[in-house]
Amino acid sequence: MLSWVDGQPASQLPLTDRGLAYGDGLFETLRVSGGRIPLLTLHLRRLAAGAQRLAIGLDLAQVEEELRTFAALLGQGVAKLIVTRGDGLRGYASPAESRPRRILQASALPQWPSQHAEQGVRLFACQTRLAEQPLLAGLKHLNRLEQVMARAEWQDPAFAEGLLCDTSGRIIEGVFSNLLLVSDGVLLLPDLQRCGVAGVMRAALLQAADEQGIAWRIDDLSVEDLLRADEVLLCNSLYGVWPVQGYLQRDWPVGPLTRKLQAIAHTLLEG
């Protein structure tokens, strides 16, 4: 398996890495097509925002160069970038001088059933709730235990994704996707200022919506809002867009705006 640590081929990490000890870091999961990363600018933008908020002194130009070289070697698949604060001694306090560590791993692109994109998927109603922490909201940080617990709730292949709400009952996202609703022709997105991951494909679709005159709004959304929606869809930077065909006792047809956004996502990922 192709893997690098700090720009060099490697397969081991020091036991003193703070990413292992405390989840002290960030990650990006990047689709690679034809030796390039289609949404690289947006990935780097989110990584930069996360590094700034966590006070990790990251050389973004160096990261970008490594990602481009790594993608060219990989050709097709998935590149996972993990950035940790680096090594540290025992204790939560960050070292006075830390050297961020960059870890890159390659894998094959997951092969999801074609009906996920064509006919849509059903959502599992997760009981796990996302904690509200505005300081970490939107970031793709290394602390993913909530998602691990949520994904462990179901094994039934009839459900391709799970719906996550926060501790106040607001709908937030899927376990590994962002959630979007369509109501009266308006694209509705859950507010991610308290928790959740601000996905790269989500950001790309909002940019495209502005360019194409598609109305959208970010708001606090409830399960009732979800059940009243005309269309429901999921997105992420690996698979693009999946229509949601059902949740609990509610079923949806695959609507026109969902298909339009799906075509946009396909173009962004495949060119």
Looking at residue 204, its pLDDT comes to: 98
- Outline where DSSP puts E strands in 10-135: 25-32, 77-84, 101-107, 121-130
Q: Give the phi and the psi of residue 225 in degrees, each rounded to 5.
A: -60, -40
Asked if 181 and 225 count as a contact pair (C-beta separation under 8 A), the reply is yes
Q: Known catalytic residues? A: 29, 140, 173
Q: Which residues lie closer than 8 Å to 35 by C-beta, 6 or more apart?
A: 71, 72, 74, 75
pLDDT of 216 over the 90 cut:
yes
Give the model confidence (pLDDT) of 39-60 as tens digits: 999 999 999 999 999 999 999 9
Q: Which amino acid is at 252?
A: W
Q: Which amino acid is at 182?
A: V
Angle (CA) 25 28 30, round 5°: 160
Is the overall model pTM greater than 0.85, yes or no?
A: yes
- Which conformational region is residue 64 in: left (phi greater than 0), alpha (psi within -120 to 50 degrees), or beta? alpha
Beta-strand relationship, 231-236 and 240-247: antiparallel
Looking at residue 99, its pLDDT comes to: 92
Query: Domains in the chain, start-ordered, CATH in brackets?
Result: 3-107 (3.30.470.10), 114-270 (3.20.10.10)
Q: Give the pLDDT mean for 165-191.
A: 98
Reference 120, options 265, 253, 264; nearest CA is: 253
Is the Cα dihedral 73, 27, 161, 266 positive or negative?
negative
Looking at residue 43, its pLDDT comes to: 98
Q: Give the phi and the psi of residue 157 in degrees, each rounded to 5.
A: -65, -5
Looking at residue 29, its pLDDT comes to: 98
Give the model confidence (pLDDT) of 234-251 as tens digits: 999 999 999 999 999 999
Looking at residue 271, its pLDDT comes to: 60
Min mean pLDDT across 1-5, 46-50, 164-168 is at 1-5
pLDDT of 127 over the 70 cut:
yes
Which residue shows structure tokens 């708001």?
Answer: 219
CB atoms within 10 A of CB 162: 21
To the nearest 10 degrees (0 to 180), the angle between helices 60-74 and 40-54 is 140
Q: Give the pLDDT mean for 138-157.
A: 97
CA 83 to chain centre: 15
Looking at residue 89, its pLDDT comes to: 81
- Report residue 93's pLDDT band, with 50, 70 and 90 as the boundaries: confident
